[in-house]
C-alpha cells in the first residue's frame, strides 16, 4: 500500500506551521467534524463480496483488522510523514517500540551494527545485550570520532545508529559526515531525532535513511501519552510495518487522536521552546554560580557550527553544571517552585532532572564522572512558560 504524504500536486509547499495543523488530514471528515474522529474499533467490515475482491485482488484501500492499521493512526502517520518530508511513516506505542522494531527489521543473524556511545540508555542496552541473543554483533563507538566510526564498519555491518542532539550534553552529529561514511561502505543510516523534531532538523534531507522519534516528547507535547514513529522511504517503512503487525504492540486510536491534537501546535510550541531555551541558556552562562552551560545554539558549545548548519533551532533542552557540591545541587532542586523535578522533555511544563540522583543513582561516583555525569549537572527541559518566569525560578534555586 503506497501512502502519500499530505502535500500533493505541484502547489507551493506550505509552511510547517500550516502543515502541523492541516497535513495528512482529509478536508472533509466523518459527520463534517473538524477534528479527526477516533475510530475506536478492532475490526472492519466488508459490504459484500465485490468489496472483498476489490481489496484482495485490486489492492483497493481498506482497513481489515486493528492490528494491521487504523484510520486515526494512518492520519497521524501521514501528518508526521509530511512534517518530516518522508515518503512514509509508522507510529508505535512508544519511542522504544519504534526503535526496537526498526532495528529488528534491519538485521539478520550474522549481521553487525555500529552505534554511538551517548545514544539513549535503553537503545544502547537493547543493542548491547539483546541483539547478541539473535547473533547480531554491535560495536559502540565514541560520539564525534568520525575516523573511529569509519574503521568500526565491517563487511557485515547493516547500519549506523546515532542520535542528534544527544542527551544530556546535546552533542550534534554531523549528518553530512555520517552520510559520507555510510555511502563509502554502503550501509544504512538511522538517526533518533527526538531532541530536534522536524521543526529544527530533517535528517532525511541529508540523505539519512531512517528517522526515529519518541513522539512522547515534543510531537505529542503534553506529557500525557507515550508514542513513537519511524520515517523514511516506503520500501524500508513497509518492511518495518510488516514486522510491527507481527510484534503486535499497536498504538490505540485514542492515543493517536491525542498525538494528532498535540501535533497541531507542535511547531508553535517548539518555536517558543527554542527561543525560551536560548534565553535561559544565555542567562545561565552569564551567572556567576554556573560552571558550564551546554546548548547547541550557544557559541561556546563545541558543535555550534554544525548545529547552526543543520538545524534551524537549538531545541528545548539546556544542560548546565553549577559550581559547588551535591549540597548546592540539592539546594537548587529544593527551591524550585515552577519547574517540576522529573524525567522526560518536550511537554508544556518545564522539567528539571539531576542525572546523578536519578538515572545514574546506581553508578559509582567514579563511573559517573567518567560518563560526564557530575554531582552538579542538571538537565532542564524547557516548557512553554514565559522565559522570565523560568529564569526567576532558577534564580531562586541558585541563590545561596
Ligand X SMILES: *Cc1c(COP(=O)(O)O)cnc(C)c1O
116 is an interface residue for ligand X by CB under 6 A: no
Sheet holding 340-341, edge to edge: 290-294, 317-322, 377-381, 351-353, 340-341
Residues that contact ligand X, how many (by CB under 6 A): 14
Residues 121-140: x where in contact with ligand X by CB under 6 A, - otherwise, as a string: --------------------
Applying CB under 6 A, which part among 92-100, 129-137, 266-274, 353-361 lies near ligand X? 92-100
State which residue, 126 or 283, has the beta carbon closest to ligand X.
126
Piece of 93-101, 241-249, 299-307, 359-367 that binds ligand X (CB under 6 A): 93-101
SS3 272: helix
User: Cell numbers 555511502 label which residue?
Assistant: 183
Closest Cα partner for 387 from 319, 308, 291, 318? 318
Measured from the CB atom, is 7 or 359 closer to ligand X? Answer: 359
Is residue 315 within the footprint of ligand X (CB under 6 A)? no
> Taking contact as CB under 6 A, which single stretch among the options 26-34, 91-99, 104-112, 256-264 is the one that binds ligand X?
91-99
Kindly tell me which of 81 and 226 has the beta carbon lying closer to ligand X.
226
207 three-state secondary structure: coil
Sheet of 188-192: strands edge to edge?
88-92, 228-232, 210-214, 188-192, 157-163, 112-116, 137-141
Residue pair 92/249 in contact by the 8 Å Cβ criterion: yes
Instruction: Quote the cell numbers at residue 231.
Output: 520515517
Smallest separation, CB 87 to ligand X (Å) = 22
Tell the residue number behind the cell numbers 567518567, with chain if given: 370
Q: Is 198 in the site for ligand X (CB under 6 A)?
A: no
Is residue 276 close enough to count as binding ligand X by CB under 6 A?
Answer: no
Q: Is the dihedral of CA 159, 165, 166, 169 positive or negative?
A: positive
Q: Which of 36, 70, 72, 94 binds ligand X (CB under 6 A)?
A: 94
What's the alpha-carbon Rg for the chain, to the nearest Å? 22
194 touches ligand X (CB under 6 A): yes
Q: Is residue 317 within the footprint of ligand X (CB under 6 A)?
A: no
* E-state strands within 295-394: 317-322, 340-341, 351-353, 377-381
- List contacts with ligand X (CB under 6 A): 94-96, 120, 163, 167, 192, 194-195, 214, 216-217, 226, 228
Amino acid at each position: 500500500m503506497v501512502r502519500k504524504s499530505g502535500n500533493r500536486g505541484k502547489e507551493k509547499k506550505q509552511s510547517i506551521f500550516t502543515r502541523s495543523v492541516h497535513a495528512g488530514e482529509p478536508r472533509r471528515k466523518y459527520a463534517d467534524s473538524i477534528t479527526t474522529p477516533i475510530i475506536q474499533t478492532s475490526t472492519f467490515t466488508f459490504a459484500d463480496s465485490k468489496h472483498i475482491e476489490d481489496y484482495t485482488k485490486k489492492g483497493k484501500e481498506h482497513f481489515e483488522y486493528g492490528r494491521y492499521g487504523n484510520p486515526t493512526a494512518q492520519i497521524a502517520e501521514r501528518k508526521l510523514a509530511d512534517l518530516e518530508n518522508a515518503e512514509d511513516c509508522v507510529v508505535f506505542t512508544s519511542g522504544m517500540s519504534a526503535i526496537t522494531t526498526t532495528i529488528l527489521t534491519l538485521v539478520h543473524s550474522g549481521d553487525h551494527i555500529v552505534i554511538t556511545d551517548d545514544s539513549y540508555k535503553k537503545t544502547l542496552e537493547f543493542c548491547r545485550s539483546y541483539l547478541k541473543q539473535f547473533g547480531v554483533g554491535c560495536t559502540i563507538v565514541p560520539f564525534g570520532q568520525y575516523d573511529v566510526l569509519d574503521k568500526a564498519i565491517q563487511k557485515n555491518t547493516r547500519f549506523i545508529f546515532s542520535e542528534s542532539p544527544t542527551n544530556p550534553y546535546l552533542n550534534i552529529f554531523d549528518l553530512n559526515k555520517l552520510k559520507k561514511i555510510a555511502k563509502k561502505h554502503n550501509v544504512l543510516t538511522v538517526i533518533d531525532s527526538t531532541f530536534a523534531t522536524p521543526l529544527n532538523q530533517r535528517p532525511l534531507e541529508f540523505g539519512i535513511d531512517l528517522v526515529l522519534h519518541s513522539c512522547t516528547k515534543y510531537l505529542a507535547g503534553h506529557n500525557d501519552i507515550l508514542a513513537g514513529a519511524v520515517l523514511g522511504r516506503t520500501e524500508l517503512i513497509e518492511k518495518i510495518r510488516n514486522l510491527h503487525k507481527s510484534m503486535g504492540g499497536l498504538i490505540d486510536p485514542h492515543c493517536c487522536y491525542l498525538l494528532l491534537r498535540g501535533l497541531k501546535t507542535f511547531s508553535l510550541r517548539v518555536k517558543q521552546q527554542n527561543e525560551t531555551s536560548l534565553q535561559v541558556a544565555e542567562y545561565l552562562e552569564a551567572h556567576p554560580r554556573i560552571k558550564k552551560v551546554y546548548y547547541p545554539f550557544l557559541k561556546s558549545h563545541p558543535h555550534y557550527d554544525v548545529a547552526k548548519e543543520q538545524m534551524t533551532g537549538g531545541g528545548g533542552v539546556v544542560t548546565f553544571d553549577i559550581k559547588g557540591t551535591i549540597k548546592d545541587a540539592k539546594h537548587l532542586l529544593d527551591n524550585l517552585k515552577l519547574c517540576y523535578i522529573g524525567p522526560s522533555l518536550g511537554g508544556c511544563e518545564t522539567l528539571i532532572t539531576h542525572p546523578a540522583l536519578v538515572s545514574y543513582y546506581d553508578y559509582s561516583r567514579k563511573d559517573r564522572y567518567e560518563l560526564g555525569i557530575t554531582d552538579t549537572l542538571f538537565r532542564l527541559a524547557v516548557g512553554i512558560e514565559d522565559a522570565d518566569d523560568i529564569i526567576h525560578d532558577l534564580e531562586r534555586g541558585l541563590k545561596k
